[in-house]
Amino acid sequence: MGLFRKTKIKAGEVDLGNLPRHIAIIMDGNGRWAKKRGLPRTAGHAQGAETFRTVATYCKDIGIEYLTVYAFSTENWRRPQEEVSAIMGLLEKYLYEATDRMERDRVKMKFFGDTSPVSPKLKALIERTNEISSHYEGCQVNICLNYGGRDEILRAAVSCAEDKAKGMENAFTEGAFSKHLWSAGIPDPELIIRPGGEMRLSNFLLWQAAYSELYFTEKLWPDFSKDEINRAIAWFQTRERRFGGV
């Protein structure tokens, strides 16, 4: 975990018969990508949104069942209002376009996090994507919006305590607890990818990441490509996953 993945695995060396079911990505480096080019941070977020579109489509095409991305954390409200507004505007634009293609492309969407603070327009688009997603099975993209791992765990703990107070038996088992998470019913990610050079989870999927393989790279998110995803998957396929066994 303390080292960057200096893998020499070629991008094409991926076993498509042995893919992780669930990949999660911390989409980091948008602002630094823009700064390196003398552009406003909002330009980095715009390019990052296009990268997300490309990566999500590719993951669906190769057979990944679940893709979870960190779009906006509970801490991101501290950023300048102009930047927050730009991120929300890009998400609105993406969802507006996605509602026309979701059923055709067989991509479902689910949101992790407390969406109550977002604009009425964005809430309506989220409700629309949820409604479309309920009609079919397909690759599921989970978008973490106003999401924090600690907040998620606290909310689940409160719900478990309420169940216990109602007399529910076994309210505090791992299985019962997991049912109160935003990710209820979704397998934990086998692979978590963090571009951008940082080596931390930053409050992302803290419960679900217990046995995830963590792949760090210095490549900034707007520069990510299909080849970069392939390199991460190829590295994952070299791992021996024992889950505490031998």
> Scanning the structure block, which residue is given the tokens 């109160």?
180
28 is catalytic: yes
Three-state DSSP state, 216: strand
Question: Which residues share a beta bridge with 216?
Answer: 194
- The DSSP code for 106 is T
What is the distance between the alpha carbons of residues 146 and 162, in angstroms, rounded to a whole number? 24
Q: Given 28, 30, 142, 230, which residue is catalytic? A: 28
Per the CB < 8 A criterion, the answer to whether 140 and 59 are in contact is: no
Query: Strands, E, within the chain: which ranges?
Result: 22-26, 66-73, 107-112, 139-147, 191-194, 213-216
76 is catalytic: yes
Three-state DSSP state, 6: coil
Q: Given 76, 105, 151, 223, which residue is catalytic? A: 76
From residue 39, alpha-carbon distances to 28, 43, 145, 226 in Å are 17, 6, 25, 25
Three-state DSSP state, 83: helix
Active site residues: 28, 76
